[in-house]
Chain A
Amino acid sequence: MKTILAIANRELRGYFANPVGWVVLCIFLVLSGFFFASLLSFYNLQATEIAMSPYGGPELNIDEYFVAPFFGNLAVVLLFMCPAITMRVFAEDRRSRSLELLLTSPISTAEIVLGKYLGAMGFIGVMLASTAHFPIILYWLADPDPGVLLSSYLSVGLMSGSFVAVGVLTSAFTENQVVALLASFGLLLLFWVISWADAASSSSTMGEVLSYISMLSHLDQLSKGLIHSRDLVYYATFIGLFLFGTHQRVEAYRWR
């Protein structure tokens, strides 16, 4: 456990010693700020229109009309950012030969993979923590449901966990960071939209399977404030499978 944390700590520090980390953090903050401001002004516009309307209208719910779309957008931003975070995880270590330090140390491959994964997740944690001012502003302006906010953060966190697991695997396959980035981005996009294929698929079983695999359908559930065990199982399985794949890949370095 101590070594896992040591590796994770070094990885996390590595992000801040490298311009890529700062650039990713900066872009993430600008985009999330943009989505926050524009969604909020859109919500405000709708609310004003309804209030002005002589016929009245439905009561707008901030959780449904603002929080859910905001976190949906945040997840899309993370879909683009995560490959840039994870591309270096193994690729850089292999290119600079520093991986040899890990491979010749008395630690297991699982410790290496978990440490690196947790390091990247630490960076995701920093990114999500840097959006903490949004809920504060929201509480100041309105009265959102804290349960919905928490479950939204949880769902975005779990989703990023899956993105990072995919990215760590692709990074283990190449010494080239750009290749790792493109491969993980392609895979993530595929998992994102795979449920769209269920409309085209003839069998309903196939459609159901595809929609279960798709990340989009799980995000919808969680950001409504609903935590289903099937979603948690989905993310745990997804992350577990990709980390296992990474473990096998790193083991294979010894047998090339």
Chain B
Amino acid sequence: MLQVENLTKRYGATTAVRDVSFTVARGEVVGFLGPNGAGKTTTMRILTGSLGASEGRALVDGLDVFEKPREVKRKIGYLPEVPPLYSSMVIRDYVAYAATLKGVADPMGAADRSLSKVGLHDVGHRIIDHLSKGYRQRVGLAQALVHDPEVLILDEPTSGLDPAQRVEIRELLKTLASEDRTIILSTHVLAEVEALAQRVIIINRGQVVAQRSLAELGSDTDAVSLTVASAPEDAAAILGAVEGVVGVEVMSRGRFQVRCEGDRRAALARAAVGWGLLELSTEGGLEMHYLRLTSGDGGAA
């Protein structure tokens, strides 16, 4: 559905995106992960046709974004990081306006359908300026959905929201993901990717550093964090001797980070008997990967 080939974007002397290539299949939900300034937004803006690439090309459903912008834009719904709202407008009018711009035949009908999809049908008469951030995000989503696009590109849809709003938007995205739509979701909230996406593309310093399905990531080395009240001198060695443990790192006195193959929590707990076990928890494989791939010089994985 989406095909990005050797995309490069330079702003003067700085290179925001360097030689980025990836593909997304129809109906797939892909998490686009990376720290701030990694080039996520730039890549998304190139895909939506609002920014030109310096090199490379992007295809949506086989159509080049730069050669057939109209056709491509009709297939894409885009929610930028800051929703493109006209604050003086009434919600329903705004979404209908977006529908007209996107060439929908019946803008008001499309606006109503889109608003009920994002749960704003009852407040359609309100002025956007008076809305909370969570509601604004929903209006932005309604705008992106109004022409029933095949591809949905969402740039940090939950950033700046409080936890309750975050959960709401996440639930909404889950429903959208189940509708057989191709979705690219950029975020730096790992839990969101784990909850929604089937695959993750990690980008750092303008380059793709990893592309993997979540299932693959989960089966990789897990990290366990272990906190005890009083650890013996040779605690690290004892933990290291547990079957399946790959490495032990002493974070501070009594706190260890253990990398192991598969779930070894039970064995670790047995090894730590008598040390006064305070906490034993797994850290997601994704988080581990993410931190490793995006820290330091971000060497390719």
Contact = CB atoms under 8 A, between A and B. Distances in A.
Given A14-B86, A96-B87, A98-B86, A103 B49 contact: yes
A143 interface: no
Nearest to B80: A100
Interface string A88-128: 00000000111111111111100000000000000000000
Given A3-B101, A97-B82, A106 B73 contact: yes
B88 A101 contact: no
A256 interface: yes
A107 B101 CA distance: 7
B52, B85, B100, B143: residue with the most chain A Cβ atoms closer than 10 Å: B100
Contacts, number: 68
A228 interface: no
Given A97-B84, A101-B84, A106 B100 contact: no
Interface in B72-102: 73-74, 76, 78, 80, 82-89, 97-98, 100-102
Interface in A215-256: 253-256
A106 B147 CA distance: 11
Contacts of B97: 6, 10
Interface string A9-41: 010011001100000000000000000000000
A105 B86 contact: no
Contact of B98 (A13, A105, A253, A255): A105
B52 A254 contact: yes
A65 B82 CA distance: 56
A62 to B, nearest CB: 43
Contacts of B76: 104
B70 interface: yes
Nearest to B12: A256
Given A106-B73, A256-B11, A6 B86 contact: no
A2 interface: yes
A97 B78 CA distance: 13
B276 interface: no
Contact of A104 (B50, B83, B89, B103): B50
Contacts of A13: 89
A165 B290 CA distance: 50
Contact of A97 (B69, B71, B80, B143): B80
A99 B87 CA distance: 13
Nearest to A105: B101
B242 interface: no
B51 A254 contact: yes
Given A96-B84, A104-B76, A106-B73, 20 more contacts: A2-B100, A6-B100, A13-B89, A96-B85, A97-B82, A98-B85, A98-B86, A99-B84, A100-B78, A101-B98, A102-B101, A103-B50, A104-B50, A104-B78, A105-B98, A105-B101, A106-B102, A107-B70, A107-B101, A254-B49
Interface of A: 2-3, 6-7, 10, 13-14, 17-18, 96-108, 253-256
13 contacts: A7-B101, A13-B89, A96-B86, A96-B87, A97-B83, A97-B84, A101-B98, A103-B49, A104-B48, A104-B76, A105-B73, A106-B70, A254-B49
